[in-house]
Chains A and B, each alone.
Chain A
Amino acid sequence: MTGVHLFGLAGAALVGCGVYGLLMAPGALGRILAFNILGGGVFLIFGVVARRGAGAGFGADPVPQALVITGIVVAFCATALAAALLVRLSAVDAEVARDGEKEKET
């Protein structure tokens, strides 16, 4: 058992956490966070693969590292877009609720 294995197991456990949150989170924001945790776990396993592929004077295989950097940025894009959609959705919901109340009054 080495430190690299430990991080691999931690990555697997993070994926488990993320799946649980994705299934059981009470709100959409919780699901967005859980999705990010799942992604973090997958990236960490990529990191373990990179670390095991160390060689030729590099501390870790640069190809998976580059993939993870790209992945982090894309995951951020997805998160931000989902958050913006969520905000707009709740604004629309609030408007619908307000209109419904107004109709009841008249």
Chain B
Amino acid sequence: MSLLFDAVLCLLLLAGALGVVATGAARAAVIAFIGYGLLLGLAWVRLAAVDVALTEIAIGSGISGVVLLRCVRALPATPKAPAPNPLLRPLAAMVSIAIAVALGAAVLALPEPAPSRAADVATALPATDLGNPVTGVLLVFRALDTLLEKVVLLLSLVGVWALSRDPACRGRPDPLSLEPAPAPSAFLARVLAPVGVLVGLYLLWAGADHPGGAFQSGAVLAAMGLLLVMGDQIRIPATQNRGLRLMLLAGPFGFLAVGFAGWATAGVFLGYPPGAEKAVIIAVEVAITLSIAVTLGLIVLGPPAGEERS
């Protein structure tokens, strides 16, 4: 019976992807993409990867949807790019089908028994006091990846800000809506956002031992911030705000500081002080959650519009 469920889910996922690719209208394609992200979240649940499912639902479907809808609004209704040559269509279809078939064959030919690092993680995990192996991998065993990823996040925000018309990148990003928020959006922001912040903090707290963690929590907090902006409950902050910039830098630089301190305390870069691993890991997680939330929210809001003249 579970096989039937998986088959239906896979077919729907494929239909969603085809809907995104085949739909000509940009707005419909983005709406289809939001649905596709939702289905992908269900697929991750079926693959026993709940941490990934949480990330996919929050970032892949939720926040990406806001970015893409906003992008569609800013673009002209009819793209002036010429339609591709219809003769190329069958060729492109053949290339993509060939790639899909080759990949499918590779998936069916995966080695048996499957190579796995699960046992290594299981033996090393008790030393960190963490219960969630994915958090362990992200923050301890592959901490360098996570650190660099924080830098990528920050660089991407720098890239977005660099597109501002203001050479100094000052001022507030353009509002999400051209008109004041409708009453239901404002109501939703007032009621849902506090609950959402609570859920975000819960995910951060639960992340040490259960699925959840800094990424998921940061994404939820960013989504709640966007909801508050959409409901006109908070003003979009100006980019030159010192507190804001401090929050942006707290995660990557805090993590880096802990990494360098690792040489002194544990004898290795990104090592955690023996005996106090969990406390330091939680502190790092809190700092990067804050940075992820603020960075994601600001990336969605886009480049600042320049200093206000008042």
A and B directly contacting (CB within 8 A): yes
Interface positions of A (Cβ within 8 A of B)? 1-21, 23-30, 32-34, 36-37, 40-41, 43-45, 47-63, 65-70, 72-81, 83-88, 90-91, 94
Q: Tell me which residues across on chain B come within 8 A of A66, comparing CB atoms.
A: 134, 137-138, 142, 145
22 contacts between A and B (CB under 8 A): A7-B47, A9-B104, A12-B104, A12-B107, A20-B93, A23-B96, A24-B92, A29-B71, A29-B75, A33-B20, A37-B17, A47-B47, A49-B110, A56-B123, A62-B134, A63-B121, A65-B134, A66-B145, A68-B49, A73-B55, A87-B163, A88-B163
B250 → chain A closest CB, angstroms = 17
Q: Taking A23-B88, A30-B26, A83-B67 as contacts, is the C-beta distance between A13 and B14 under 8 angstroms?
A: yes
Docked CA distance A102–B160 (Å):
30
Identify whether the interface residues of A are mostly helix, strand, loop, or mixed: helix
A30: chain B residues within 8 A (beta carbon): 21, 26, 29
Q: Pick the contact of A68: B52, B71, B89, B300 (CB < 8 A).
A: B52
Q: Is the beta-carbon distance between A87 and B71 smaller than 8 angstroms?
A: yes
- Say whether, besides A29-B75, A34-B20, A73-B149, A10 and B303 are in contact (CB < 8 Å): no
Place the interface of chain B in its size category.
35 or more
When distances are taken between beta carbons in the complex, the residues of chain B under 8 Å from A37 are 17, 20-21, 33, 36
- Chain B 1-20: CB-based contact to A (< 8 A → 1; otherwise 0): 01100110010011001101
The CA-CA distance from A91 to B46 in the complex, in Å, is: 43
B51 proximity list for chain A (CB < 8 A): 65, 69
CB distance A72 to B52 under 8 Å? Answer: yes
Given known contacts A66-B138, A86-B75, A87-B302, A51 and B121 CB-to-CB distance under 8 angstroms: no
Q: Who on chain A is nearest to B111 by CB?
A: A52
B99 and A69 form a contact (CB under 8 A):
no
For A24, list chain B residues within 8 Å (CB): 21, 84, 88-89, 92
A36–B30 alpha-carbon span in the complex (Å): 11
What is the CA–CA distance of A100 and B145 in the complex, to the nearest angstrom?
48
Contact B107 A60 (CB under 8 A): no
CB-contact partner of A9 in B2, B107, B116, B123, under 8 A? B107
What sequence of 0s and 1s flags, for each residue 96-139 of chain B, a beta carbon within 8 Å of any chain A beta carbon? 11011101101110100011111101110000000001101110
**Is B88 a contact partner of A14 (Cβ separation < 8 A)?**
no
Extra 4 A-B pairs, beta carbons < 8 Å, given A4-B47, A19-B96, A88-B163: A6-B3, A11-B107, A53-B117, A55-B116
Given A16-B96, A87-B302, also A65-B71 (CB < 8 A): no
Name B137's contact: one of A19, A26, A63, A77 (CB within 8 Å): A63
Q: Interface stretch among B58-66, B177-185, B196-204, B255-263?
A: B58-66
